Amino acid sequence: MRAVFVDKDGTLVENVPYNVDPAQIALTPGAAHGIAALARHGYRVIVISNQPGVGLGKFPLHALDAVQARLADLVTLDGFYFCPHAPNDGCDCRKPAPGLIERAAREHGVSLSESWLVGDILDDIEAGRRAGCRTVLLDNGNETEWQLTPERRPHHVARDLGEAAALILEQ
């Protein structure tokens, strides 16, 4: 089994900081087409997201239930995994750590070496590489630091999730 692990904010949906209002959740350009194409070709599509708003007290954990339900209304997903910890909590699930990806792979019987991670910042790319996935960075302006190391260098770069899906399907 293979998967494409997709970052949520800025990759799958428009980036609205700390947003848990389903009415404000909108897919990014190319997202619906890209997700559907990946699913048609046998990839499991699993969201992997840092949600520090929980750990920072900006919204309660249960608010993410409505986010997950809204995403399910917009696209077909095989899983929704999130890290609820604040940035400095030292957990192993917050990207760039690979913990969430590894957990999702175990629970879905996914081979990480046959899987991909698509994200819009280099922390996403690092998490994917550390988990053993190939990676695609969406160059949409969300990465601002560009501290490239071997772990943070994407395998491919795309404009949006639709283009990323096309790249993955060409491999």
Q: What are phi and psi of 103, to 5 degrees?
A: -65, -45
CA distances from 126 to 64, 75, 78, 96, 168 (A): 25, 26, 22, 5, 18
The yes-or-no answer on residue 9 being catalytic is yes
Structure tokens at 18: 């700390």
End-to-end CA distance of the chain: 16
Three-class secondary structure assignment of 100-141: HHHHHHHHHCCCHHHCEEEECCHHHHHHHHHHCCEEEEECCC
7 is catalytic: yes
Active-site positions read 7, 9
